[in-house]
Each structure stands twice: as structure tokens, then as C-alpha cells.
Chain A
Amino acid sequence: MLKNRHIQGWLQASPLTLILIGFLILPIITIVVVSFWQATEFSIIPAFSLENYQFLFGSPVTYKVFFATFKYALITWAMTLAIGFTVAYYLAFHIRSQTMQIALFLLCTIPFWTSNIIRMISWIPFLGRNGIANSALQSWGIIDQPLEWLLYSDFSVILAFVHLYTLFMVVPIFNTMTRIDHSLIEAARDNGASGFQTLIHVIFPLTKPGIMIGTIFVLTLVMGDFITVRFMSGSQKANVGRLISNDIALLQYPSAAATAVILLITVLIVIGILLRFVDIRKEL
């Protein structure tokens, strides 16, 4: 009987296990294996070699590009957090009726009905040299010359990131906030906490798991992205994703795989550090 139950348990877990093995574990193993292969301009040689990694760690470009990736991730994270927390706070604590809450929440998701690329590209006529932003600022007399840094710059890249990914911060934070018992807010008020003190000492600590989940979303999305950086910087800026995509375009799969492995490890380390701080298990 006991043995029977043992088998049953494995059987029940097997569909998910198979899917994870087939679509997650095997591809990662493949990438790791390929990252140790050699390649020339014309051929890929399946022989063990450390040359991809030696080249990667020996090149100053790698460090610059990883630094740029972290910079994008950090700034985007800070901005999506600020906006996401504010929006979620407003929805959760200032909108009284639940119908209104749901309606406004759905409103936030409307931009997601179009593809990322379209949302990105639609910034271009807005931010361009003779775009809406520049001509408006000029006609108001705020600037004489068009602002060059609006488009094809770090600014436009981060703007697009923030635009694309803020919702990934809003959703988990909103979800955590709606679970906060309103009598806790009243209790804080009863104990003499001002609105700001309640925010800092009660709402913020209780929202941490949601913030952490949003953070993981945003960091992994931004650190793995290549298309946003390419479009919004006019191919003038680079991050790790673009490094990989360039290698693939040149059919340098082993080198791309090695970069991917390093990126994966980096992201996992970052998430590992984050999880040390906050227990998100309650939220899942």
C-alpha cells in the first residue's frame, strides 16, 4: 500500500516534471554544452574548449555591456517601483468601491492589448527630432533647439522599459495590498500614526512580498531584453541581450551560448540575493 502510494505520487508529478525537463532543463543543458564548443567563421566544432569564456572575460566590452545592462535594470526598477507602488496604493486604498477598483485595474492593462514592438515604435514619432515632444516644447518657447537626447538615447530606452514593464510591478503590489486588512490601517490611526507613518510602518512592510515579485519580473525582463534597446537606441546602445543577438546573427552560437550562461548565472545570483531579504512563499 505504501509503495503503491509512492508510485502514485510520482505519477501525479510526472506531467509537470516531463514538461519542465523537456522545455526548461534540456534547453539549458544544451546551451551550457554548446557554450563550451569551438567556432570559426565557417564552422562550429563540438569539442570542449574554454575559449568562449576566456574571450568573454578577457574583453573589456563584456564588462561595459554588463554594466550598461545593470544600469538599465536598476533605473527601470526604481522608476517602475515608484510608479507601480503609487498606482497600486491609489487603487487599493483610495478607491472605495470594488467595481471601480476592477474597472481601473483593467484600464491599466489596456496597453497590453497591443504588442510590445508597436508600443515601442509609437514613441519614435513622439520623441523624434521633429517629433511631437520637441515641436510642442519649441512652440511653447521652452527650448530653442530640438532636444537631441529624447530619442536614440539611454533616456528613450529607459522610457520604453518603464512604459512596457510598469504593469508587472503594479499587479503583484496591488495583489498584496488588497490583502491587507483595513482594520490594520485603522489600528495604526488609532495608535497615532499619520498617513505617511502608516505607509512606512504598516503598508510598506506588508507589501514587500509583492514588491519583490514585481522586482523579479522587471529585473529579469529588462536584463534579458534586446529588442527594446535596439529600437529605442537606434542600435547605438548595447546590453547583454544585444551581445547575444549579435552573436546569433553572425552564427556564433557557442559564443552566444557562453554569454547567455553568464547572464543566466548573473540573474540567478541577483534573484537569490533578493530572496534572502523577503519571503515570497506566502504570496504564491
Chain B
Amino acid sequence: MRTGKDLELVTLTKRYGVTTAVDSINYVFQNGTYVCLLGPSGCGKSTTLRMIAGHESVSDGSILLDGFDISHLPPAKRGTAMMFQSYALFPHLNVRDNVAFSLRMKGVDKAERNKAAGEMLELVHMTDFADRLPAQLSGGQQQRVALARALVTKPRVLLLDEPLSALDPFLRIKVRAELKRIQRELGITFLHVTHGQDEALALADEIVVMNNAVIEQAGPAREVWNTPKTEFVARFMGGHNVISLEGAKVALRADEVLLGEAGLPATVTSVEYQGAHVAMTSMTDHGEEVLALVPEEQFFLSPKNPGDAVRLAWDEGRLHRLQA
């Protein structure tokens, strides 16, 4: 639902010399949503984020926030705040001063800015570490401080540039729950750049998949995952097989592949036990690989081995035609 407070990209373009990093993209980020910009490296997602933040100039088009064109404003005047991939905490300032930095730049007096910093540190559960230097914190703690520092400016939109990539897998899952909680509490728009589809699915209300400088597909997380529009999206989101049928490409979810008496003939190439599922890869006669995630109980009723001939089937209506 448009509220008029949304962040809108209008034919936003970034060119470096002859290469186009972002090619005339249009999108409306609705106010208060958690949006993930997803894509492989070099697809233009980071450039898009940096243009919105104001750290990269706009070659063409505009960025509107709250109905105002912010494309040429300095970063701090846009109503956005950025959380950097490496956190970019000032190493010579303690946690409190890092968080209060933007207020100090504005000339807010010490008592007031320390109070505001204290509130933000409370939000990210870092109150006890206020007097430490960034070097004395763990990665996850630094990340929270970076978040507090970005939020202290009371941004309308928070921009996160691969915020979880520097964390170990265990911490990543913990922190992403934290991000989601804070976004809900504040009710502002979070724009999160990532190349991990699991991260995007876990966090996002809305996913924007980018590839080759353009938006391939955008929409609610479930919609993007269940009904990929293109072969690229189907493959990138994972969990889908892309097969050619009657001269057109179609997508089929791996967990909806059935092993039956009739259907597409294929040869099993590998079998992997994954606990709840068995991942069975097979090769069709056209040389296309198909992954089937079969519930383990069902699989072991009639186990298959590499080299066996199988027939792949699916329920009516489970195929999605992909755009060429």
C-alpha cells in the first residue's frame, strides 16, 4: 500500500565509463518493510544501495523519499543511514562516542548526546560496553554498535550493506533474528543487501532479485520463491529444477518431484541422505540435471542407486513456465 512516505527509485542508473552498473531501475520500497536486495556479486545491488545512501553519485534518474528528490543531497541530509559491511567503527572512539558521533557533528551538547547514545545502546543490548573501544569487542558486538550508530540519527530508511557477511554462521543466525526484531520495534524501512538467498528468505518481507544491473523479479518473499519468473531467479533462489518441456523452460520445486511409474525418464547420478530428506540427483535424457528431495521414509520404501532408471513425475499445476 502506497503511503506517500515510501522510498522510490525512478529510472535509477549508474554508469562507470562504458559499463553500466545499474540500468534504469524502477522500484517502490514501501514504508516500514524489510526489503532484501538479493543477487550475485557484481549485479549492481551494492551500487544501488550506495546511490540511495549518497556515497555514489547518480548517473541518471532519481531517488525519492517521502515525495522529495534526495538524489543530490549529502548522505546525512537524506533521512537514510548506512551500516557498513566492515562496520567502519571509529577505532579511536569508545562505543558511546561512536554512537554519539553524528550528534556531536551536529553540535548537540554532551549530556544530551550521551543520553541518546545510551538509549540506542539499550536497544541493541550493548549498554554494559559503552566505555570499551571497538577493538575490545567481538564481531557481533561491533555489529550492534554499528547498528546503534546508524539508528541514532533516526533515519527513515536504514541501509545495510551485507551486514552479516563478516560473522560466523552461528552468529549470523542469531544476529539476523536481532535485526528483524529491531526493524519491527522501530517500524522503519530496512534495505538489506545480501547474496545469500537463505538470509533474504529469513528476513525479508519483500525480496528484490537483481542480475546484470536490472531487477529480475521483486515481490513478497514467498511469491519470489514459489513462482520464479525467470530461469535465473529459479536457479538463484535454489530449491528449484529448471527443465525444458515442449520447447519452453519450466521450474519445478525439488521437493515436489515424485518418483513414479510414468513420467520423465531419467538416470540417477547421485543419492545423498540428508536426514529428513534424501537428495537424489538424476539426469534426464536431454542431459538436464534434476534434483528430487524425497522424504526419507518414502525413499527407503524403494531405494534407488546411482545408475538406476527412474521416472520423474509431478502433480498437476506444479510446473511454472519461465520467461525466456
What is the 8 Å Cβ interface bit string for chain A, positions 170-204, against chain B (1 contact, 0 not)? 00000000000101101111111110010001100
- Pick the most buried of A183, A187, A206: most chain B CB atoms within 10 A of its CB: A187
Interface hit among B18-26, B79-87, B182-190, B224-232: B79-87
Let me know if B88 and A184 touch, CB within 8 A.
Answer: yes
Q: Are A190 and B104 in contact (CB under 8 A)?
A: no
| Chain A residues whose CB sits within 8 angstroms of the CB of B54 once the complex forms | 189-190
Tally of chain A residues near chain B (CB < 8 A): 17
Interface of A is mostly: helix
Q: State whether A192 and B153 are in contact (beta carbons under 8 Å apart), knowing that A202-B90, A206-B91, A206-B92 are contacts in the complex.
A: yes
Known: A181-B86, A191-B76. A205 touches B153 (CB 8 A): no
Q: Mark B151-164, 1 if CB is under 8 A from A, else 0.
A: 00100000000000
B149 within 8 A of A: yes
A192 to chain B, nearest CB (A): 3
Nearest chain B CB to A124 CB, angstrom units: 45
Task: Tell me the bound Cα distance from A202 to B91 in angstroms.
Answer: 9
Q: How far is the CA of A188 from the CA of B74 in the complex (A)?
A: 12
Report the nearest A residue to B74, measured CB to CB.
Answer: A189
What B residues does A190 contact at CB under 8 A? 53-55, 75-76, 81-82, 150
Known interface pairs A190-B53, A191-B149, A191-B153; A181-B88 also in contact (CB < 8 Å)? yes
CB of B160 to closest CB in A, whole Å: 12
Residues 44-67 of chain B, each 1 if its beta carbon lies under 8 Å from chain A, else 0: 000000000111000000000000
Question: A189's contact among B76, B91, B106, B153, by CB below 8 Å, is which?
Answer: B76
Determine the distance from Cα of A176 to Cα of B75 in the docked complex, in whole angstroms. 27
Residue in A186, A192, A194 whose Cβ sees the most chain B Cβ within 10 Å: A192
Report the interface size class on chain B. Answer: 20 to 34
Within 8 A of B (CB), among A223-251: none
Q: In the complex the two chains form, is A192's CB within 8 Å of B106's CB?
A: yes
Whether B55 lies near A193 (C-beta < 8 A) is no
Give bound CA distance, A193 to B106, whole Å.
8
Q: Which A residues lie within 8 Å of B262 (CB)?
A: none
User: Would you call A186 and B55 a contact (CB within 8 A)?
Assistant: yes
Known: A191-B76, A191-B153, A192-B76. A183 touches B105 (CB 8 A): no
Known contacts A197-B105, A201-B104, A201-B105; is A189 also within 8 Å of B90 by CB? no
A183 and B86 within 8 A (CB): yes
Q: Which residue of A187, A194, A205 is within 8 Å of B84 (Cβ)?
A: A187
Contact A192 B102 (CB under 8 A): yes
Complex: how many Å from CA A201 to CA B103?
13
Contact B76 A205 (CB under 8 A): no
Which residues from A are CB-within-8-Å of B34? none
B29 lies within 8 A of chain A by Cβ? no
- Is A191 a contact partner of B84 (Cβ separation < 8 A)? no
Closest A residue, CB atoms, query B85: A183
Which of B81, B88, B149 touches A183 (beta carbons < 8 Å)? B88
Q: Are A189 and B102 in contact (CB under 8 A)?
A: no
Return B179 CB to nearest CB of chain A, in Å.
18
Question: Among the listed A186, A191, A205, which residue makes an inter-chain contact with B105, where contact means beta carbons less than 8 Å apart?
Answer: A191
Question: Which residues of the other chain, A, contact B149 by a CB distance below 8 angstroms?
Answer: 187, 191
- Which interface residue of A183, A186, A190 has the most chain B CB atoms within 10 A? A190
B101 interface hit (Cβ, 8 Å): yes
**Whole-angstrom distance from the CB of B92 to the nearest CB of chain A?**
5
Task: For the complex, give the distance between the alpha carbons of A76 and B92 in Å.
Answer: 28
Residues of A within 8 A of B81 (CB): 190
When distances are taken between beta carbons in the complex, the residues of chain A under 8 Å from B101 are 188, 191, 193, 201
Within 8 A of A (CB), among B275-316: none
Q: Is the CB of B53 within 8 A of A193?
A: no
Contacting residues, chain A, for B153 (C-beta < 8 A): 191-192
- Listed A/B pairs (22) with beta-carbon separation below 8 Å: A181-B88, A183-B84, A184-B88, A186-B82, A186-B88, A188-B105, A189-B54, A189-B55, A189-B76, A190-B53, A190-B81, A191-B76, A192-B75, A192-B105, A192-B153, A193-B76, A193-B102, A194-B105, A201-B104, A205-B92, A206-B91, A206-B92
List A residues at the B interface (Cβ < 8 Å).
181, 183-184, 186-194, 197, 201-202, 205-206
Interface residues, chain B, with chain A CB atoms under 8 Å away: 53-55, 74-77, 81-82, 84-86, 88-92, 101-102, 104-106, 149-150, 153
Extra pairs beyond A187-B149, A206-B92 (12, CB < 8 Å): A183-B84, A186-B55, A187-B82, A189-B74, A190-B54, A190-B55, A190-B82, A191-B105, A192-B153, A193-B76, A201-B104, A206-B91
The 5 nearest A-B residue pairs measured at CB? A192-B76, A191-B102, A187-B88, A183-B88, A205-B92
